[in-house]
Amino acid sequence: MNEQLITHLPRWLEASRAHAHEGKVAAYIPELAKAPGNALGISIMGKTGETVAAGDTSLMFTMQSISKIFTLMLALVDNGEDGVFAKVGMEPTGDDFNSMLKLELVEPGKPFNPLINAGAIAVTSLIHGSSPAEKSGRVLRYFQDIAGGAPLAINEEVYRSESATAHRNRSLAYFLKDNEVLGEEIDVEDVLSVYFQHCSIEINVEQLSRMALVLAFNGTDPITGREHIPRRYVQIAKTFMLMCGMYNASGEFAIRAGIPAKSGVSGGILAMVPGIYGIGVVGPALGAKGNSTAGVHLLETLSGQLEWSMM
């Protein structure tokens, strides 16, 4: 493990924590509003599992949009590239993550990419399984294996809270149904329940850094040597992370930090230094575009100090 990281991480983290007050904890899913706004935690894992961590590392949080990266890869395993990209595009939008705007304006119904909500709901509809419970079970086991094997669980309160208030996501999903992106055989509420459940999988920063490590090593866990995801699908996921993993702040993050990352409205961020580290961050206070203010500040600091940018 890098000596500079071991020595300075606690200090860099505390300096970034000061940026939490610039953000607000998400409240559109009522249960998420209970998260501590001033929290900030990070775990950075190297290829033998050596880990350096700092801050609020025991905080549990739901994966929210971070889960979209892994459901995309599972949908690719189930359907191949042609099957997935028949339903969802490959381009960043520049719009908010829950925007409906381009759905109607361009190629009616086909979401621009798998990381905006409309695209992620379309991707979730492609996951194989004979019932919503079987699909959610497959997703949970897939995530668990990639996170190192320890049991993961769905936070039922967050799941129910989102399901009860998801008027925007319901509208998006019914619009997709109307435009036949969700096919005739697909029940909209079934797809939404699987989508809300994978967004509600609960995790901590150490488990998140292990998931990131598998992506940093192109789908193979460097600690066990086990291949979890085909390299090509990890390549697709990482490309989306770089282009639109931080939503309409992805360009700014790419310029400032230059590493693939994916954020969620719980304040989690999965990031990686390809071939070197997997990183998990949590900082529940979010900026205007839905990313953790303190978490983004910390990743940008680390990238600057340690020259992580891929560009």
Distance in Å, CB of 308 to ligand DON, minimum: 22
Q: Find out whether 65 is annotated in a ligand binding site.
A: yes
Copy the structure tokens of residue 209: 């850094």
Q: Does the active-site annotation cover 195?
A: yes
Known catalytic residue at 247: yes
Residue of minimal Cβ distance to ligand DON: 65
Q: Which is nearer to ligand DON, 122 or 265 (CB)?
A: 265
Asked about 106 being catalytic, the answer comes back as: no
Among 23, 290, 296, 302, binds ligand DON (CB under 6 A): 290
- Selected catalytic residue, list 142, 233, 247, 277: 247
Following DSSP, what letter does each residue of the chain receive, concatenated?
A: --HHHHHHHHHHHHHHHGGGGGSEE--SSGGGGGS-TT--EEEEE-TTS-EEEEESTT--EE-GGGHHHHHHHHHHHHHHHHHHHTTS-----SS-TT--HHHHHSSTT--S-TTSHHHHHHHHTTS--SSHHHHHHHHHHHHHHHTTSS--EE-HHHHHHHHHH-HHHHHHHHHHHHTTSS-TT--HHHHHHHHHHHHTEEE-HHHHHHHHHHHHTTTB-TTT--B-S-HHHHHHHHHHHHHHTTGGGHHHHHHHT-S-EEE-TTSEEEEEETTTEEEEEE--EE-TTSSBHHHHHHHHHHHHHHT----
Annotated binding-site residue? 265 = yes
Q: Which of residues 228-287 bind ligand DON (CB under 6 A)?
A: 247, 263-265
Rounded distance, CA 279 to CA 118, Å?
27
Considering the complex, state which of residue 218 and residue 263 has its C-beta at the smaller distance from ligand DON. Answer: 263
Interatomic CA distance for residues 68 and 71, integer angstroms? 5
Site string for ligand DON, 150-169 (x = CB under 6 A): ------------x------x
Binding mask of the shown chain, residues 114 to 133, with x at each position contacting ligand DON by CB under 6 A: ---x----------------
Is 52 a known ligand-binding residue?
A: no
Q: Enumerate residues 160-219 that contact ligand DON by CB under 6 A.
A: 162, 169, 199
Q: Which member of 16, 25, 52, 65 is catalytic?
A: 65
Closer to ligand DON by CB, 5 or 188: give it: 188
65 is catalytic: yes
Q: CA 286 to CA 295: how far, in whole Å?
A: 9
Residues 40-99 that bind ligand DON (CB under 6 A): 64-65, 97-98
Say which of 16, 25, 43, 68 is annotated catalytic.
Answer: 68
Which positions touch ligand DON (CB under 6 A)? 64-65, 97-98, 117, 162, 169, 199, 247, 263-265, 290
Binding-site residues for substrate sit at 65, 117, 162, 169, 195, 247, 265
- The residues carrying an active-site annotation are 65, 68, 195, 247, 265
Binding-site residues sit at 65, 117, 162, 169, 195, 247, 265
